Structure 1
Amino acid sequence: MPQASRRQRCAACFRPLSHCLCHLIPRLWPDTQLLVIQHPDETSHALNTARLLVSGLVNAHLLITESLDEHPQWVARLSDASWRNELLFPGADAVELVPANDGRPRRLVLLDGTWRKARKLLYLNPVLQALPQVRLVDGLVSRYRIRKVPVPGALATIEAGAEALSVLHPGFAREQLLAPFDALIEGQIQAMGEQRYLHNYRSNS
């Protein structure tokens, strides 16, 4: 018997059509521009929160690459001193992210991938290493209830972006940006069943 065809997916959010999240995705436009650099291995991940983050922001870009040498226009933009370019990454020298207004437009770079892949993205790209590193406050708790976080305080990419924009722009519509993420998690829990969810993700909480 022929194999069943793969489920059709929404061209915008890439979710199965029966679970499309587009009606929940806002179109927000904060002053800060986000650049999300996604490791290529993450593109097929079922819970691709980087795509949800960028889809909800007019002033955001998703770049799928391992090497920025393939994208010289972005190397130039990230080297442009007329912009306040910063990397959201909890390195040893990272300082807490705070609002600032030095007259320059602000661009925040996020790395999307596992911790190992995010570190690889950083070490493969000198332009990223040259950026000032900023971090979120300690003690944040992820809503990503179907993932066992690798380190305390680890957030999904969409959560990190939403938290950062909330810091930089008081009153930012954080909950609107996170609405499709919340729905995605709830849908995954329903699909696996409450008992399996409790056994796999709540037993050690």
Structure 2
Amino acid sequence: MSRVQCPRCLRPKTHCLCPLIPRLDSRTRILLLQHPSEVNHALNTARLAALGLNNAELIVGEVFDDLPKLLNCPGYQARLLFPAEDAQPLQAYSSAPDEQPLLLVVPDGTWRKARKLLHLNPLLAALPRVTLAAGAVSRYRLRKAPGPGALSTVEAIVQALQTLEAPTSFEPLLKPFEALIDGQIEAMGEEVFQRNHGEGKA
């Protein structure tokens, strides 16, 4: 028998995260393009980010037919948050009154699935790319990061916004994410967690 699910955060009602999800304003607009395989993932952090930001939109799919319309957002300049040799590191907005904020397009999925989204949507792949500062450490303690700087989607968005809109803090966006991880550790038991994921574990 399946557990009753919260229709908003998609967590079981007994573990609903909605009370922890903030409603934050941002100058930057966030467009999350989520691969369908991520929708029912236990840590659907893209959904947490979209729920916590007033100026964010989450769209699920593989081919986005309305991408031209989504990217044509008056008052914003579209950038893809994805690594590339020519990607520009994100920098704080200047104080120039005519500077356009970013429409930050964030693919959500494994690296392989995210690359597939770019392959299937040439308009997406053609966007100028931006990257985060190197050296960030993920708080996702349940999985060994595939490499340095590998962050969950919500962590990447928080770091991007903290950089662009400094000194504004977007840390409250991470509260439901951390509660989710704590809940999973609690469910598996501390002993199992330490054995599989504890400090010093490869």
Pick the TM interval, shorter chain: over 0.9
1:52-111, Cα deviation, whole Å (9 max, x unpaired): 011000100001011112xx2x32231568531001111121110112355324210111
Q: How does 1:1-205 map to 2 (within 5 A)?
A: 5-69=1-65, 72=66, 74-79=67-72, 83-101=76-94, 102-202=98-198, 203-205=200-202
Aligned amino acid, residue 104 of structure 1: Q
Give the Cα separation in 2 of the matches to 1:113 and 1:176: 23
Give the Cα separation in 1 of the matches to 2:31 and 2:158: 13
**SS of the counterpart of 2:57?**
strand
Q: Could you tell me the percent identity over the aligned residues? A: 52
Mark the runs of 5 or more structure 1 residues left unpaired by the alignment: none
Shift of 1:152: 1.8
**SS of the counterpart of 1:68?**
coil
Give the Cα separation in 2 of the matches to 1:75 and 1:174: 29
Give the Cα separation in 1 of the matches to 2:70 and 2:28: 14
Give the Cα separation in 2 of the matches to 1:123 and 1:85: 18
Answer whether contact 2:77 2:102 (CA < 8 A) is retained: yes
**SS of the counterpart of 1:123?**
helix
Answer whether contact 1:78 1:127 (CA < 8 A) is retained: no
* C-alpha RMSD over aligned residues: 1.5
Mark the runs of 5 or more structure 2 residues left unpaired by the alignment: none
Question: Structure 1 residues 29, 156: closer, same or farther in 2, change over 3 A?
Answer: same
Aligned amino acid, residue 159 of structure 1: E
Give the Cα separation in 1 of the matches to 2:177 and 2:112: 23
Structure 1 range deviating more: 89-98 or 20-29 = 89-98
Answer whether contact 2:48 2:176 (CA < 8 A) is retained: yes
Question: Structure 1 residues 82, 179: closer, same or farther in 2, change over 3 A?
Answer: closer
Give the Cα separation in 1 of the matches to 2:7 and 2:118: 30
Give the Cα separation in 1 of the matches to 2:34 and 2:176: 19
Shift of 1:147: 1.2
Give the Cα separation in 2 of the matches to 1:138 and 1:186: 26
